[in-house]
Protein backbone atom coordinates (compact mmCIF):
# COMPACT_ATOMS: atom_id res chain seq x y z
CA UNK A 1 0.00 0.00 0.00
CA UNK A 2 1.37 3.38 -0.93
CA UNK A 3 1.24 5.60 2.10
CA UNK A 4 2.91 8.86 1.17
CA UNK A 5 4.52 10.90 -1.49
CA UNK A 6 7.73 12.84 -1.56
CA UNK A 7 7.02 16.33 -0.21
CA UNK A 8 3.37 16.48 -1.24
CA UNK A 9 2.34 19.99 -2.26
CA UNK A 10 0.83 22.18 -4.93
CA UNK A 11 3.31 22.66 -7.78
CA UNK A 12 6.95 22.94 -6.81
CA UNK A 13 10.44 22.51 -8.05
CA UNK A 14 13.56 21.73 -6.04
CA UNK A 15 16.84 22.79 -7.56
CA UNK A 16 18.90 19.68 -8.12
CA UNK A 17 16.03 17.40 -7.08
CA UNK A 18 13.16 15.52 -8.66
CA UNK A 19 9.45 15.25 -8.01
CA UNK A 20 8.48 11.92 -6.45
CA UNK A 21 4.76 11.19 -6.98
CA UNK A 22 2.48 8.99 -4.89
CA UNK A 23 -0.70 9.18 -2.83
CA UNK A 24 -2.03 8.06 0.50
CA UNK A 25 -4.81 5.53 0.30
CA UNK A 26 -7.52 4.56 2.76
CA UNK A 27 -8.83 7.49 4.81
CA UNK A 28 -6.95 10.15 2.86
CA UNK A 29 -8.86 13.36 2.24
CA UNK A 30 -8.59 15.38 -0.98
CA UNK A 31 -6.76 18.69 -1.06
CA UNK A 32 -8.76 21.77 -2.04
CA UNK A 33 -8.05 23.21 -5.47
CA UNK A 34 -6.87 26.79 -5.78
CA UNK A 35 -9.10 29.16 -7.71
CA UNK A 36 -7.62 30.82 -10.76
CA UNK A 37 -10.04 33.74 -10.20
CA UNK A 38 -8.35 34.74 -6.94
CA UNK A 39 -5.29 36.88 -7.53
CA UNK A 40 -3.71 36.55 -4.06
CA UNK A 41 -1.91 33.80 -2.20
CA UNK A 42 -0.77 33.34 1.39
CA UNK A 43 2.70 32.04 2.26
CA UNK A 44 4.67 31.35 5.43
CA UNK A 45 7.95 29.75 6.59
CA UNK A 46 8.26 26.53 8.61
CA UNK A 47 11.79 26.12 10.02
CA UNK A 48 12.64 22.46 10.70
CA UNK A 49 16.29 22.46 9.55
CA UNK A 50 18.35 21.46 12.62
CA UNK A 51 21.45 23.45 13.60
CA UNK A 52 20.42 26.51 11.61
CA UNK A 53 19.53 29.18 14.19
CA UNK A 54 17.58 31.76 12.17
CA UNK A 55 16.21 31.85 8.63
CA UNK A 56 14.69 34.56 6.43
CA UNK A 57 12.24 33.78 3.64
CA UNK A 58 12.31 35.85 0.45
CA UNK A 59 9.59 35.39 -2.17
CA UNK A 60 10.01 37.33 -5.40
CA UNK A 61 12.31 39.85 -3.76
CA UNK A 62 9.97 40.41 -0.79
CA UNK A 63 11.01 39.34 2.72
CA UNK A 64 7.97 37.30 3.72
CA UNK A 65 9.50 36.17 7.04
CA UNK A 66 12.54 37.27 9.00
CA UNK A 67 14.63 35.77 11.78
CA UNK A 68 12.47 32.65 12.17
CA UNK A 69 14.02 30.38 14.79
CA UNK A 70 14.43 26.63 14.47
CA UNK A 71 11.22 24.84 15.39
CA UNK A 72 9.10 27.93 14.70
CA UNK A 73 6.41 28.82 12.16
CA UNK A 74 5.94 32.34 10.82
CA UNK A 75 2.62 34.07 10.20
CA UNK A 76 1.05 33.89 6.76
CA UNK A 77 1.74 36.83 4.45
CA UNK A 78 -0.54 37.81 1.56
CA UNK A 79 1.06 38.28 -1.85
CA UNK A 80 -0.04 38.39 -5.50
CA UNK A 81 -0.23 34.99 -7.17
CA UNK A 82 2.50 34.15 -9.68
CA UNK A 83 5.72 32.31 -10.39
CA UNK A 84 8.42 33.20 -7.89
CA UNK A 85 12.08 32.73 -7.11
CA UNK A 86 12.12 31.66 -3.46
CA UNK A 87 15.21 32.02 -1.28
CA UNK A 88 16.04 30.91 2.23
CA UNK A 89 18.74 32.99 3.92
CA UNK A 90 20.66 31.96 7.03
CA UNK A 91 23.22 33.77 9.14
CA UNK A 92 26.85 32.64 8.63
CA UNK A 93 27.92 29.75 10.86
CA UNK A 94 31.26 31.46 11.58
CA UNK A 95 31.36 35.12 12.46
CA UNK A 96 34.23 37.41 11.49
CA UNK A 97 34.15 40.35 13.95
CA UNK A 98 35.92 42.56 11.42
CA UNK A 99 33.06 42.28 8.91
CA UNK A 100 29.37 43.09 9.06
CA UNK A 101 27.02 40.13 9.20
CA UNK A 102 25.46 39.22 5.87
CA UNK A 103 22.91 36.45 5.46
CA UNK A 104 23.95 33.59 3.20
CA UNK A 105 21.72 31.87 0.64
CA UNK A 106 20.93 28.52 2.24
CA UNK A 107 18.47 27.20 -0.35
CA UNK A 108 16.66 28.32 -3.49
CA UNK A 109 13.75 27.04 -5.54
CA UNK A 110 11.21 28.28 -8.08
CA UNK A 111 7.46 27.78 -7.64
CA UNK A 112 4.25 28.71 -9.41
CA UNK A 113 1.89 29.76 -6.61
CA UNK A 114 -1.67 29.69 -7.94
CA UNK A 115 -4.23 32.28 -6.94
CA UNK A 116 -6.29 31.37 -3.88
CA UNK A 117 -3.65 28.95 -2.61
CA UNK A 118 -2.14 28.86 0.88
CA UNK A 119 1.45 27.63 1.03
CA UNK A 120 4.17 26.71 3.51
CA UNK A 121 7.82 27.04 2.53
CA UNK A 122 9.60 24.40 4.58
CA UNK A 123 13.28 24.77 5.45
CA UNK A 124 14.48 21.20 5.90
CA UNK A 125 17.63 19.05 6.14
CA UNK A 126 20.96 20.04 7.66
CA UNK A 127 22.72 23.37 6.97
CA UNK A 128 25.15 22.13 4.31
CA UNK A 129 22.33 20.66 2.21
CA UNK A 130 19.27 22.63 3.19
CA UNK A 131 16.26 22.43 0.88
CA UNK A 132 13.32 24.79 0.39
CA UNK A 133 10.16 22.78 -0.14
CA UNK A 134 6.71 24.11 -0.99
CA UNK A 135 3.63 22.47 0.52
CA UNK A 136 0.08 23.48 -0.32
CA UNK A 137 -1.85 23.90 2.90
CA UNK A 138 -5.45 22.97 3.55
CA UNK A 139 -7.76 25.59 5.08
CA UNK A 140 -11.01 23.64 4.66
CA UNK A 141 -11.58 21.97 8.04
CA UNK A 142 -14.18 19.45 9.15
CA UNK A 143 -16.74 20.77 11.62
CA UNK A 144 -16.37 18.06 14.26
CA UNK A 145 -12.91 16.64 13.58
CA UNK A 146 -9.28 17.75 13.41
CA UNK A 147 -7.50 17.26 10.09
CA UNK A 148 -3.87 16.22 10.40
CA UNK A 149 -1.02 15.34 8.04
CA UNK A 150 2.44 14.09 8.96
CA UNK A 151 5.89 15.11 7.74
CA UNK A 152 9.16 13.25 8.32
CA UNK A 153 11.76 16.03 8.58
CA UNK A 154 14.45 14.35 10.73
CA UNK A 155 17.35 13.75 8.29
CA UNK A 156 19.28 11.04 10.18
CA UNK A 157 16.22 9.06 11.26
CA UNK A 158 14.96 5.86 9.57
CA UNK A 159 11.44 5.55 8.15
CA UNK A 160 8.88 6.13 10.88
CA UNK A 161 5.59 4.62 11.88
CA UNK A 162 3.17 7.12 13.42
CA UNK A 163 0.90 5.87 16.20
CA UNK A 164 -1.86 7.35 18.28
CA UNK A 165 -3.11 6.36 21.70
CA UNK A 166 -3.15 2.66 22.62
CA UNK A 167 -0.56 2.10 19.86
CA UNK A 168 -3.13 2.59 17.10
CA UNK A 169 -1.25 2.91 13.80
CA UNK A 170 -2.05 6.22 12.11
CA UNK A 171 0.53 5.88 9.35
CA UNK A 172 2.53 2.68 8.84
CA UNK A 173 5.56 3.98 6.96
CA UNK A 174 6.92 7.46 6.26
CA UNK A 175 10.53 8.01 5.17
CA UNK A 176 12.56 11.21 5.51
CA UNK A 177 11.30 13.76 3.00
CA UNK A 178 7.84 12.24 2.74
CA UNK A 179 4.51 13.89 3.54
CA UNK A 180 1.18 12.19 4.13
CA UNK A 181 -2.16 13.49 2.98
CA UNK A 182 -4.65 14.73 5.57
CA UNK A 183 -6.67 12.40 7.74
CA UNK A 184 -9.38 13.06 10.32
CA UNK A 185 -8.57 12.58 14.02
CA UNK A 186 -10.75 12.94 17.07
CA UNK A 187 -10.25 16.33 18.73
CA UNK A 188 -8.99 16.71 22.29
CA UNK A 189 -5.87 15.72 24.18
CA UNK A 190 -3.92 12.95 22.45
CA UNK A 191 -0.50 11.38 22.27
CA UNK A 192 1.45 10.87 19.06
CA UNK A 193 4.28 8.33 18.97
CA UNK A 194 6.95 7.77 16.34
CA UNK A 195 8.76 4.44 16.07
CA UNK A 196 10.97 2.76 13.45
CA UNK A 197 8.67 1.53 10.67
CA UNK A 198 8.60 -2.19 9.83
CA UNK A 199 10.53 -3.18 6.72
CA UNK A 200 8.65 -2.93 3.43
CA UNK A 201 11.27 -4.92 1.48
CA UNK A 202 9.59 -7.67 -0.61
CA UNK A 203 10.21 -11.12 0.81
CA UNK A 204 11.20 -9.84 4.25
CA UNK A 205 8.95 -10.95 7.10
CA UNK A 206 7.35 -7.99 8.91
CA UNK A 207 8.86 -7.37 12.32
CA UNK A 208 7.03 -6.86 15.58
CA UNK A 209 6.04 -3.36 16.60
CA UNK A 210 9.10 -1.35 17.63
CA UNK A 211 9.35 0.68 20.79
CA UNK A 212 8.56 4.35 20.34
CA UNK A 213 11.51 6.65 19.74
CA UNK A 214 9.56 9.62 21.07
CA UNK A 215 6.12 10.38 22.45
CA UNK A 216 4.51 13.79 22.04
CA UNK A 217 1.49 15.14 23.89
CA UNK A 218 -0.70 17.60 22.05
CA UNK A 219 -4.16 19.13 21.99
CA UNK A 220 -6.15 19.02 18.75
CA UNK A 221 -9.22 21.17 18.18
CA UNK A 222 -12.27 20.39 16.08
CA UNK A 223 -12.59 22.55 12.98
CA UNK A 224 -8.82 23.06 12.66
CA UNK A 225 -6.18 21.69 10.28
CA UNK A 226 -2.62 20.81 11.32
CA UNK A 227 0.66 19.58 9.89
CA UNK A 228 2.88 17.67 12.32
CA UNK A 229 6.61 17.74 11.55
CA UNK A 230 9.03 15.37 13.28
CA UNK A 231 12.27 17.36 13.23
CA UNK A 232 15.69 17.24 14.83
CA UNK A 233 18.23 14.44 14.89
CA UNK A 234 18.16 10.91 16.28
CA UNK A 235 21.90 10.53 16.89
CA UNK A 236 22.91 14.09 17.70
CA UNK A 237 21.56 17.42 18.91
CA UNK A 238 19.00 18.85 18.74
CA UNK A 239 17.05 15.69 19.53
CA UNK A 240 13.82 14.59 17.92
CA UNK A 241 10.96 16.99 18.46
CA UNK A 242 7.49 17.72 17.12
CA UNK A 243 6.62 20.98 15.38
CA UNK A 244 2.89 21.61 15.06
CA UNK A 245 1.83 24.05 12.33
CA UNK A 246 -1.83 25.07 12.15
CA UNK A 247 -3.11 25.78 8.63
CA UNK A 248 -6.44 27.31 9.67
CA UNK A 249 -4.61 30.35 11.05
CA UNK A 250 -4.77 31.58 7.44
CA UNK A 251 -8.56 31.71 7.40
CA UNK A 252 -8.79 35.13 9.01
CA UNK A 253 -6.75 36.61 6.15
CA UNK A 254 -9.05 35.40 3.37
Q: What are phi and psi of 129, to 5 degrees?
A: -145, 35
Sign, CA dihedral 220-23-58-42, equals negative
What are the structural domain ranges in the chain? 5-29+38-94+101-253
Please tell me the distance from the alpha carbon of residue 94 to that of residue 91, in angstroms, as a whole number: 9
Cβ neighbours for 252, distance < 8 A, ≥ 6 positions apart = none
pTM: 0.82
pLDDT in tens, the chain (254 residues): 444 545 433 333 333 333 333 323 233 444 445 544 669 999 999 999 999 999 999 999 999 999 999 999 999 999 999 999 999 999 765 555 565 667 899 999 999 999 999 999 999 999 999 999 999 999 999 999 999 999 999 999 999 999 998 889 999 999 999 999 999 999 999 999 999 998 765 655 555 557 889 999 999 999 999 999 999 999 999 999 999 999 999 976 65
Query: 97-103 contacts: CB < 8 A, separation 24 or more?
Result: 103/56
DSSP reduced 3-state for 130: coil
Nearest-CA neighbor of 180 among 139, 146, 151?
151
Judge contact between 62 and 79, C-beta under 8 A. Answer: yes
Amino acid sequence: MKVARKWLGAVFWVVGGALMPGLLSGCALPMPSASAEVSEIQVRLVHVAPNTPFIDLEVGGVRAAQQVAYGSVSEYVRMPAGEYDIFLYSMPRTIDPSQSLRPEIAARTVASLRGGGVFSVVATDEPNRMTALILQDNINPLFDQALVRFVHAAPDTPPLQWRGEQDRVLLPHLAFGEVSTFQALRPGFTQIQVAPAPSTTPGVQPTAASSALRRFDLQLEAGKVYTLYVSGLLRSKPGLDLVLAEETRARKLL
